[in-house]
Structure 1
Amino acid sequence: MQKSSSEMVKLMNREKIVNELKQNPRQSRADLSKKTNLSKPAVSEIVKELIEDDLVFETGLGPSTGGKKPIYLEYNARSNYVLGTLIENETIFLALGDMNGEIINFHKEKFTPFSDGNVIVNIIAEGVRELLNREQIDDEKVLGMVIGVSGIKMNNEEVISSSPSINWDNVNLKQELSTRLNSQIIIENDVNLMTIGEFYKGEGIGINDFIYLFIGNGIGSGLFLDGKFYKGFHSAAGEIGYMVIGNQQPLSEDLGVFETNYGLFGVSKKLKQLNIDIQDEKSLLNFLQKNCDNKDIKTILEDTINQWAKAASNIISIIDPQAVILSGELTYLNNFYYNRFQRMIESYVPKIPQIKITELESKAGIYGALHLALQHFYEPNF
């Protein structure tokens, strides 16, 4: 028992030194001793082991204060790697990340809507191989991968049972990729990952209570409450696509009432019913705003924005957040309709939060995936 206790203390001290170097690079052994309240001999012994384990490296000499010049140390953020993947609308984004959650290399590829799940598995597996080949990284250096998927609902076998734009059938994404890549895999909701990414790298930095609102083929939101990501009892918190807003005859079993009517598929369907040709635009909202001199298009546009604002108001009135971060199609609101969207919210809720627009866009989901991977897979001999 005594041995176990002393080993645990040493492991905790190793973690303390690594975390200190991660937060404040280029420190000497003497600096670490002062910062961590560990003895100089203890620090020297642990640093020696960390260097042997490739977790820390010496990076040069510091200025002398009268005696021997100190040797600076840094955490080796490329001692291992994690992978992050985001499936957003019809695009798959993949990134290789270091142990600080920074993106080292990036790859994206389009797929046809309603593709078979096996097509997605192949794209991800091949994309990962390309990323690792670019950086000449061996498989064993990769700790694991987190994948963000829209409309996720998992059964006991971890098969995705619904998604707005992919036909998963009985394709077990986690199992297939784990076998193909010989790696640990975590499947998470895409909007959840975007929310986590904003907390670490985007508009959510320094904000403890915020809502992340995403409009795409599906509609969803993510919640940070009291500085912690909130998933709910069934891991379904923020699934605002299931709000009862609009025609209650569902488009498909994979979509909620709100996203059936006011996600991109639902809005596109209304345009097609009026024989309005949707041009090849990066954003459907852009198309609507550019053509709002057409009476029918203007009606659809304003109704859509009004319903998006009502959904935002509903969740704001329950959560009372400090901020709401807009993403997806909402980032394409022009000044006129952005002001209209904000005024509607102000007219509905008792206290208006900050309304912010993401600058990370899809990279929010990638950063969220990398940071979640670090939380789950990071075990550097501690």
Structure 2
Amino acid sequence: MLVLKRGEITFCGPQLPSPQDFVIEVGKRLRKTWIESSLRVALEQCSPQPSVSEILEILTRLRIFQWEELETLMYVDTIHQLELVAPFAGSIECEEGTPFDLSFGRNRHALDWERLWSQVKVRQKMWSQMSGAVPSVDAIPSLAVDSLDEVDDIAARKHLQKWVDGKRSLLDIAELLGDDPLILGRKYASWTRLGWLNFSEQAVVHTPIILSVDDSAMVQSVLKHTLGKHYQMRFANNAMDALTMLNMHDVGLLLLDVTMPDINGLELCRVIRKIPKFKQLPIVMLTANDGFVDKVKGQFSGSNHYLTKPVDQDRLCQVIDQYVVPFRPGLRYVSKPLMTRRSSEILTASLLRMATKGSSAFQKFQHGPLVGERKAG
């Protein structure tokens, strides 16, 4: 997911977080001990629905964050994400007016494309140099020795025992450790040459995203606890947020509360069904009303299933499993490396037309791979 400001990148990540989630995640990674309490203080000074820039402006004034450290972290994240998607074909879906106005410093500048892409090219060269030992960042390391006693490096032995299980990919392990995948890859390449590791690649399905739309924090908490182990959960508490998140994420199933303060779930369901790309989206209605007429209304609004609150957890999982495949440990992601220069140029031209204002740096996209939202196949 790319966020552009006047044609230049300000954010790149696998998904678009809410302003509060973004601030908490950044605070934890920068080891800001009091980030949650600092965020609460900042929110008291913000508008009712604050933007990420509004929150960060207050936190930098309070000296919780410094713009330089935020920008450095975003450079690192963006380079890693560009590195992952650069070799792959895909498609761009542009959404104007995305409510994520991240920028940096007092002058509100974006990330420098030339700096980003030069680092990506350097890293790609380093990856290619060890491709004989480590085939890709998605490859799965497994032990090549009969016993860890054969590993004569104590630190390596401890690492292999804890992290290498034949199920996690190199990227998975790097993310769990908070390490740079390239640095970990170089370490694994040396261990492969020593005969301690093997690599394999295994095709898999994606972990599905479920969007729950409910204005009850208690219901959302229960759903997160029940479904969070097998699905990526996203939450919205009103119709407008739900529509925004549907456009930002590749949602596999929608859980929709009937009774909401602005637009009720039945009306929202009808609105969603009128949007062509959501006509086949599985929608499960959740409601406290158990009457026959209520169920008929749910069906006529376009829902696939209708469950009554309080929802039995096992029954909920059974219904959801009818429509989406849950995550199973050991399954891996794959994508097809089909990016061609021509497809890159075509998609780049489309993106440039959507940009509100081009820049000389952003024109560099025309001469390199396009980076968009990564979609398998």
Q: Aligning the two structures, in what range does the TM-score lie when normalised by the shorter sequence?
A: under 0.3
Report which of the two structures shows the higher radius of gyration computed on alpha carbons.
1
TM-score (norm 1): 0.28
TM-score normalized by the length of structure 2: 0.28
Higher-RCO chain (CA-CA 8 Å, sequence separation at least 6): 2
- Which has the larger strand fraction? 1
